[in-house]
Amino acid sequence: MDAAKYIWMNGKFIPWEEATTHVLSHTIHYGNGVIEGTKAYKTKKGYAIFRLKEHTKRLLESAKMTLIDVPYTAEELNEAQIELVRKNEFIGDNVYIRPFAFLGYGVMGVYHKNAPVETVLAAWEWGAYLGEEGLKRGIRLKISSFSRPANTSNMGKAKATANYLNSQLAKHEAIECGYDEGLLLDDQGYVAEATGAAFFMIRDGKVITPPSDNALESITQRTVIELAEDMGIEVLRRRITREELYIADEAFLTGTAAEVTPVREIDGRMIGKGERGPITEKIQSTYFDMVFGRNPKYEHYLTYV
């Protein structure tokens, strides 16, 4: 990870190296914290944060679900993120912003309401999450032996740190088996999501993506659905079975970090021609035009720094 100059922590900008916490912080031991992933892109008008308000709103909603009382308003957090990008004087094309809240040092034990809440905003330059080659050529995807936990098991709609143990294990399994990414099914055997991204496939010219019944409500997924519909492509939100994946014409993943990443192979089965498909490429190109400020139709999603 490339260090930046400043991190915003509990209302103050401090040097990157000084943003530390105690080893007995509650979240380290019991896993209750909430995170966001937001991106700023270098446009002709300077850096622009993509869908800033929606990401901050989801952070606070996740905190409410997990009973973490963040002591800052959405407006305060939005302004701090803008200033964070400005103060760090980045030069690269991509800046990743990580807002998060966790429970700090003060109490021990499973009951967490008396633990102090720490609120942090960090940002650093970060390129393609699944590799530049993956964006062009496509990645290899493995269906994980781990299932996405059932809705009765946890707060699956919260972007909570504890939920990512499931993702970590699935990702490790995929990498160890020679793949790039893992895809999680739900407890009923239907596609849920990748370890950190939403899933799309294309069959007979239609874009198909699962509902958020047992997955995070993805902001990028919602954006791509809008883009596809604006291009006149029919979009279906329905359950997807494992068998359907293997006979898809195209497939891709979406997420703040993953952006629009094509899938060329699933479980040893070549998807389409084993490369980025034409509809995927069109959606990907339109997405990058949007986030880099090259399409005025979607400029309302950009917050300029």
DSSP string, 81-148: HHHHHHHHT--SSEEEEEEEEEE-SS--SS--TTSPEEEEEEEEE---TT-HHHHHH-EEEEEEEEEP
- Residue 140's pLDDT band (boundaries 50, 70, 90)? very high
Nearest to 255 by CA among 147, 71, 99, 130: 130
pLDDT tens-place string over residues 86-131: 999 999 999 999 999 999 999 999 999 999 999 999 999 998 788 8
Arithmetic mean of pLDDT, 241-270: 97
Arithmetic mean of pLDDT, 9-30: 97
Catalytic residue at 159?
yes
Residue 249: is its pLDDT beyond 90?
yes
What residues does 199 pair with on adjacent strands? 253
In this predicted structure, what is the pLDDT of residue 1? 78
- Residue 60's pLDDT band (boundaries 50, 70, 90)? very high
CA distance 94 to 249: 30
Tokens of 143: 């269906």
Arithmetic mean of pLDDT, 267-280: 97
Percent of the chain at pLDDT exceeding 90: 92
Q: Tell me the HSE value of 101 on the side-chain side, using a 13 A CA sphere.
A: 27
In this predicted structure, what is the pLDDT of residue 127? 81
In which residue are the tokens 């967490």 written?
112
198 Cβ contact partners less than 8 Å away, ≥ 6 residues apart: 209, 215, 216, 218, 220, 221, 253, 254, 255
In this predicted structure, what is the pLDDT of residue 186? 95
CA distance 253 to 54: 20
Q: What pTM was computed for the model?
A: 0.95
Q: Helices 219-230 and 278-291 sit at what angle, rounded to 10 degrees?
A: 110
In this predicted structure, what is the pLDDT of residue 238? 97
Q: Are strands 302-304 and 250-255 parallel, antiparallel or unpaired?
A: unpaired
Backbone phi, psi, residue 16, to 5°: -50, -45
CA distance 261 to 127: 13
In this predicted structure, what is the pLDDT of residue 284? 97
CA distance 78 to 118: 17
pLDDT tens-place string over residues 123-138: 999 987 888 888 999 9
pLDDT tens-place string over residues 179-233: 999 999 999 999 999 999 999 999 999 999 999 988 999 999 999 999 999 999 9
In this predicted structure, what is the pLDDT of residue 111? 96
Which long-range contacts link 103-106 to residues 24+ away (Cβ below 8 Å)?
103/25, 103/26, 103/27, 103/30, 103/32, 103/33, 103/68, 104/21, 104/22, 104/25, 104/26, 104/27, 105/21, 105/22, 105/24, 105/25, 105/26, 106/26
Per annotation, catalytic residue among 39, 142, 157, 159: 159
Q: Are strands 269-270 and 259-266 parallel, antiparallel or unpaired?
A: antiparallel
In this predicted structure, what is the pLDDT of residue 198? 97
Alpha carbon separation from 20 to 14, 25, 55, 162, 262 (Å, rounded): 10, 11, 24, 20, 37
Tokens of 294: 């090259």
Residue 82: is its pLDDT beyond 90?
yes
